[in-house]
Amino acid sequence: MGHVIVVDLGFGDAGKGTVVDHLCRTAAPATGARLPTAVVRFNGGAQAAHNVVAPDGRHHTFAQFGSGTFVPGVRTHLSRFMLVDPLALAAEADHLRTLGVPDALARLTVDRDALLTTPYHRAANRARESARGAARHGSCGMGVGETASYALAHDDPPRAGDCLSPARLRRRLAAVRDWYRAVFPDGEEVPDVGACADAFTAFAEHVRIVGPDHLAALLRAGDVVFEGAQGVLLDEWHGFHPYTTWSTTTFANAETLLAEAGASAARLGVLRAYATRHGPGPFVTEDPALTADLPDPHNGTGRWQGAFRVGHLDAVALRYALEAAGGVDGLAVTHLDVAGARPDLRVCRSYEMDGGRVGRLETGPPDLDRQAALTRRLLAARPVYAPLGDPVETIEDALGAPVVLRSYGPTSADKKADQFRTPIDLSVH
């Protein structure tokens, strides 16, 4: 199979987890390819929610562990681009243990330079989002954005490697706590630094904290799946500001890691056969009737993130995502079972916007003012629809990329792959 990078081309929730799980269970016998040996996480943190249903019906929402963890022997590596929450990781490992996966932590490695998300970041996140009132951005309330912004403003943010140095860890945790109390004097109560430091030190005793050479060794040992979080339309620089994430959601981080190791990977973009968005922000093809008719069993209204919204396939937004991400080698389309049962689904090929018809949104270098202006335009845009027809043919025509993996349900058995159409050979046994 070779190394593969999996990235969501929408607003998230397209099914990255089920695609990664499938890749970790299948190889291409015609090419003699091996099953992947590891999943590398390369952006985001504990706010990710990648739902996987195993063939035997077990379900887990993967946040920091790789979505291949149900497969025995598949390792997870949290790269330096991850924002690691040790407390959330421990809770996730506990849930996996109840599902018959007792060794999730033993199969985990963490880059020593990965930033740590603490209870103080989480409390700051919730205080800041609450203060926005009706103008909330749709945060998950997990502290990931605060972790990133704190690191930009301070020279000594806590990192995974600090868990091996208790004195330094306490100093850095105390600095974050003092910052939180100064900025949010009326914020929620938070744990004592000593208790937090003890928990983080215990975390370091149960996982391997590694240096930068570890990933190169993983890549030499076997095929690796790089699992992205969120979606390109939520990217910190290319998304529709301010309704975005503090994370690079394109292929960029994964390709940086690969280049450092002298390796490369195929690019796999994931999308649903219809559009969804969790939380506020522009959503040109949103359809309240579809939202009512197509509830998602694993995505509901959240206290911090907001409502789960559904709409028609948006070729304009997807073309924008493809351009912002630098293109793909192949596409994975999920929820084709839903599309087959809904002849009323449509595709939006252009917008009525700015007094005319627009079929392409321009991308550019990082510029949040430009992205905020684009957001305002999108909030006033109206979709121009055509019948969806055959969703795979429509998507290939609209995006100019081949569909190499089709998903008709939540498990790996519900996937169908096409052989030899791109450098990604995802054939099934």
User: Do residues 2 and 219 make contact, with C-beta atoms less than 8 angstroms apart?
Assistant: no
Distance of alpha carbon 110 from alpha carbon 257, whole angstroms: 14
Closest CA to 401 of 28, 2, 7, 3: 7
Distance of alpha carbon 278 from alpha carbon 47, whole angstroms: 12
Residues 6+ apart with CB under 8 A from 98: none
User: Do residues 325 and 265 make contact, with C-beta atoms less than 8 angstroms apart?
Assistant: no
Kindly tell me the sign of the dihedral angle through the C-alpha atoms of 335, 234, 109, 194: negative
User: Do residues 223 and 235 make contact, with C-beta atoms less than 8 angstroms apart?
Assistant: no
Cis? peptide before 402, omega within 30° of 0: no
205, with CB counted inside 10 A (0-12, 13-18, 19+), is: exposed
Kindly tell me the sign of the dihedral angle through the C-alpha atoms of 342, 343, 349, 352: negative
The catalytic residue among 13, 162, 287, 314 is 13
β-strand partners of 267: 5
Active site residue 390: no
The catalytic residue among 3, 22, 50, 278 is 50
Residues 6+ apart with CB under 8 A from 131: none
Phi first, then psi, for residue 154 (nearest 5°) are -130, 145
Q: Taking each helix axis from N to C terminus, what angle separates 252-260 and 213-221, rounded to the nearest 10 degrees?
A: 90
Q: Taking each helix axis from N to C terminus, what angle separates 144-153 and 119-131, rounded to the nearest 10 degrees?
A: 100
β-strand partners of 108: 76
Active site residue 3: no
Active site residues: 13, 50
